[in-house]
Amino acid sequence: MSETLIHEAARRFTATFGDLPAGTVFVPGRVNLIGEHVDYNDGLVLPMTVREGTAVSWARADHAHISIRAADLGESDHFASSEPPRPHDTSWRSYVRGMVAELGLPADAGVDMLVHGNLPRGSGLSSSASFCVALGRALNDALGLGLDAISLAKAAQRTEHEWAGVACGIMDQVAVAAGNAGRALLLDCRDLAMQQFALPPDWAVAIVDSGVTRGLVDGEYNSRREQCEKAARKLGLASLRDADRGSLDNANLSALEYKRALHVVDEITRVRRASEAIAASDLEAMTCVLREGHVSLRDLFEVSVPLVDRLVEAVDDILKERGAARMTGAGFGGSIVVVLERAALPELQQALDRPVRPVF
C-alpha cells in the first residue's frame, strides 16, 4: 500500500514541478487499541500504525519559499519560509504553515513538496498527525535539520495546538512518527517512554469506518480536556494519571467531573491489562478490556454516537468470545477497532455490511 502511494506521489510531483523529486517520505496513520482520552492526562496508550497514510515528495528549490501541492484536494500553497502567514481558517494550509513555523527553518529555505494520502479525514485514524509528521519528515530530509521522531511529533502537536486550535495530547503524533507496523506501542504520555509489543500471530486487528464523519467537534474535545484538568486540580494533582478510584470518592467533584475522571483512571488500568493480555496471548482478557473500554467512552466520557455503538454491538454479536470492538480515536463518529481471532476475520467480513479492513 505505501509503495503505491510513494510511487504516485513522486509521479504527481514530476507532473506538477517538472522535475523528479529528490525524495519521498511516507508516514502512516494510527489506530488506538485502548487508552482513549488519557494522553492529555499523562496516561498510558496503546496505538499501532495502519497501512494507509501520507506520502510527501520533495526537492530543494532555489527560492526561499515553501511551494506545496495538495494533490488530493487539487489545491496549492506558496509562502515565504521565514514567515509563514496565518491562514484565516483551519484548513490544510494551517498545518503546513504551522509545521514550517514550528520547525523553525533556515531563512533561505526553499522546498517544493507534493502531498498525496489515502487516510480518510475525520475517520479517527489520525490523518492530521500523519500529514504533519510527513511534512516534518520531508522538510527534515530536504534541509538536513537532524530532528528525531519525537521532535517531529512535538512540532506536529504544537501545530495542532497553535495553528489548528485543537488541544490534543501527544499519542497520535508519537504513534505515527515512532510506531512500527504489526506492533502495538505502549506509550507513557508523561515521559514518552515506549515499549513495543508484537501481536500474537493468531490474532487480527481490523478497522471499520462507521461512515459518520467527525464534524465540528474540536470544542467538545477541548471541553473534555478542561473537565479532566479541573477534576485533577480539585484532587490537588498535576494530572489524573496520579488519581485512583479511592481518591475520586473523597474529592469534591461534580457528577460530570466524577464520570470523566473515573473513565480516565479505569482506562489507564485497561491499557496495562491489554498489554498483559497481548504479552500472554490471552484473547479472552483482551476482549473484556475492549468491551469495558467502549462502555466507558459511551457512558462516562460521552464521546460515542449511537451509530458507532450499534456497529460495535453488531461486531460483538458476530464475534461472541472470539474478539471485540470499540470506538477508536477522539470519538463522535469515525472508525471502530476490532481485535479478533485471525480465523474469524473472513466470517466478520462476510457478515458485516461494511468493509472490514485488516491492519495486521
Binding footprint of ligand GLA on the chain (CB under 6 A): 32, 36-37, 39-40, 168-169, 171-172, 329-330
Closest contact distance (angstroms) between CB of 32 and ligand GLA is 6
User: Among residues 107 and 216, whose Cβ is nearest to ligand GLA?
Assistant: 216
| 242 phi, psi to nearest 5 deg | -90, 5
Contacts of 85 (CB under 8 A, 6+ apart): 79, 97
Per-residue burial over 37-57, b if 16 or more Cβ lie within 10 Å, else e, is bbbbbbbbbbbbbbbbbbbbb
For 96-127, the DSSP string reads HHHHHHHHT--TT--EEEEEEE-PPTTSSS-H
User: Among residues 12 and 30, whose Cβ is nearest to ligand GLA?
Assistant: 30
Angle between helices 127-143 and 149-163 (to 10 degrees): 120
Q: Which residues are catalytic?
A: 172
User: Among residues 77 and 172, whose Cβ is nearest to ligand GLA?
Assistant: 172
Closest contact distance (angstroms) between CB of 321 and ligand GLA is 27
Closest contact distance (angstroms) between CB of 68 and ligand GLA is 23
User: Among residues 81 and 173, whose Cβ is nearest to ligand GLA?
Assistant: 173
- C-alpha separations of 272 from 57, 142, 156, 218, 265 in Å: 39, 39, 27, 28, 12
Residue type, 195: Q
Closest contact distance (angstroms) between CB of 334 and ligand GLA is 9
Contacts of 18 (CB under 8 A, 6+ apart): none
